[in-house]
Chain A
Amino acid sequence: MDILTTLRETFFDLDAMRAALPELVRVGLPNTLVLALTSAVVGTVLGMVLAVCGLSPRRWLRWPARVFTDVFRGLPAAVTILLIGVGLSPVALHVWGPNPYPLGILALSLIASAYIGEIFRSGIQSVDTGQLEAARALGFSQPSGMRLVVIPQGVRRVLPALVNQFIALIKESSLVYFLGLLASQRDLFRIGQDAAANTGNQSALVLAGLFYLLVTVPLTHVVNAIDRRLRDGRRDGRRADGAARPDDPDGVDLDDPVLAVSQEAR
């Protein structure tokens, strides 16, 4: 009985949570979202560049992309964030002042881009070669065919894996605390952890965790919804309209790559 009470007070002390709540909402949540969103955007753009370079027939494009991917996928996130965030800070000081965010975002983006690049690459590679051939037969150049026909299909197939990567990014954004944050720069984790350290009570950290779940769990369900939509297809509603023999020997075949990739990504 006593133990249960202690545990409840340690993890679910409502007063401690109430005390931490305003800062978590006003400072922590926006900071976490800014870190994760910005890194997601930059990481996705960089990832697409990496994927296209990685698939290029030109060795001088392919090779650096592979090395980059191997390095940033192979290093622990903490090492990358410290090396970039601390190592480059003398340079960044001149540009942004003593704000650790730009370098933190850079480090998170580089890590994310290595994973996202591989996700995009597997998606693009899963598109049937006949698609590019058909585009070229119409008169599109190879790059235009890739841009208009192949890449959009490849990206669609890996959307679930991509969202998984965004979830990982939201969680990894907590690592920027390594770089030393001012009170106003603290993210969800840091605020929760500070409160926990000051009070010796973990409730604020639990609340911070709940905020992470508030963001990541809906995203997980978005993944599932996309997965379902890709598998059953938007065609569903349209199949009703008459013709619809679903015999498409060369059709979309979305299941396999999607599943393969979302599995592989974890």
Chain B
Amino acid sequence: MTAETTADRLATGGVARGHGVAVATRDVHLAFGSNRVLRGVDLDVAAATTACVIGPSGSGKSTLLRVVNRLLEPDRGDVLLDGRSVLPDNADVLRQRVGMVFQHFNLFPHKTVRANVTLGLTKLKGLPKDEAAELALHHLDRVGLAHKADVRPGSLSGGQQQRVAIARALAMEPEVMLFDEATSALDPELVKGVLAAMADLAAEGMTMLVVTHEMGFARSVAQQVLFMDHGRVVESGEPDQVFEAPGTQRLQRFLSQVL
């Protein structure tokens, strides 16, 4: 990669804006032993839109995310990116196209904030060190943490760590972003900053699949809300429809518990 294209990236905001691609799953099944965690999940997230997945714990939400980037391989069914099945691809290469943010951040504690972001750039994308460092700084700046580039994650607050994790994922220029309960481990006052960063990203045209308990975020940012229970998508639709007029008793009960 030349310095010119790096400059271009910096000029366009680093992430290819509006270049999120469509994600879909078709009849995805996955069992751990006799525990059937996913029982035929169909999912369609249009390019550059956000879908929130809600549901009780143990309903298969996090497992579904891990099937989309193939941290887990489905027993049956298909996963499509941009309309094309990704199952025949090399899973490691696929994961470079799909960013993921975890509940517990999972930053690398032995590396500085900057090195957390540059690791994939230098080792996977083969960028020279200085270019990677420049890009890292740019992505950290987008989440407001460029001034923390040289500290270790352990000295950051949970909210800051999660924003670094978002920057780390975005630096790889993914076409889709997965969020696995990204704010569940945070103190209440730190949740807002992370949700704001996620909302910005959605507004810029990233395709996002968000497992969350933040119903306010689902309502205001998502174009689509999916309710999962017992390994299936029980109900899905636009946020207003799902929240205002739940069609099933299970969703009604779930909403009455969380709202």
Which residues of chain A have a CB within 8 Å of any CB of chain B? 128, 130-131, 133-141, 144, 148-149, 152-153, 156, 233-235, 238-239, 241, 243-252
Contacts and interface: CB of A to CB of B under 8 A. Distances in A.
A246 B161 CA distance: 11
A262 B174 CA distance: 42
B104 A250 contact: yes
B40 interface: no
B154 interface: yes
B169 to A, nearest CB: 8
Contacts of A249: 104, 158, 185
Contacts of B165: 134
Contact of B153 (A149, A241, A245, A251): A251
A144 B69 contact: no
A250 B185 contact: yes
A140 B120 contact: yes
Interface in B105-151: 105-110, 119-120, 123-124, 148, 150-151
Contacts of A134: 100, 102, 106-108, 165
Interface string B176-207: 00000000010100000000000000000000
Given A130-B102, A131-B108, A137 B154 contact: no
B168 A234 contact: no
Given A133-B71, A134-B108, A144-B123, A139 B96 contact: yes
B238 interface: no
Interface in B32-68: none
B101 to A, nearest CB: 9
Given A139-B92, A148-B119, A243 B156 contact: yes
A104 to B, nearest CB: 36
A198 to B, nearest CB: 53
8 contacts: A130-B102, A131-B108, A137-B99, A148-B119, A235-B154, A238-B150, A248-B109, A250-B104
Contacts of B155: 233, 235, 238-239, 243-244, 246
Contacts of B148: 243
Given A137-B99, A141-B92, A243-B155, 18 more contacts: A130-B102, A131-B108, A134-B102, A136-B71, A137-B69, A138-B172, A139-B92, A139-B96, A144-B123, A148-B119, A148-B123, A153-B109, A235-B152, A244-B155, A246-B155, A248-B153, A248-B154, A252-B154
Interface residues of B, number: 39
Given A130-B104, A133-B102, A244-B155, A139 B120 contact: yes
B123 A137 contact: no
Sorted from nearest, which 3 A-B pairs have the closest CB atoms? Answer: A134-B106, A139-B96, A250-B104
B253 to A, nearest CB: 30
Contact of B95 (A130, A138, A148, A241): A138
Nearest to B124: A139
B160 interface: yes
B123 A140 contact: yes
Given A138-B124, A140-B123, A144-B123, A243 B160 contact: yes
B171 to A, nearest CB: 9
Nearest to B65: A137
A56 B73 CA distance: 20
Nearest to A145: B92
B66 to A, nearest CB: 8
Contacts of A233: 152, 154-155
B13 to A, nearest CB: 20
B120 to A, nearest CB: 4
B157 interface: yes
B93 interface: yes
Contacts of B156: 243-245, 248
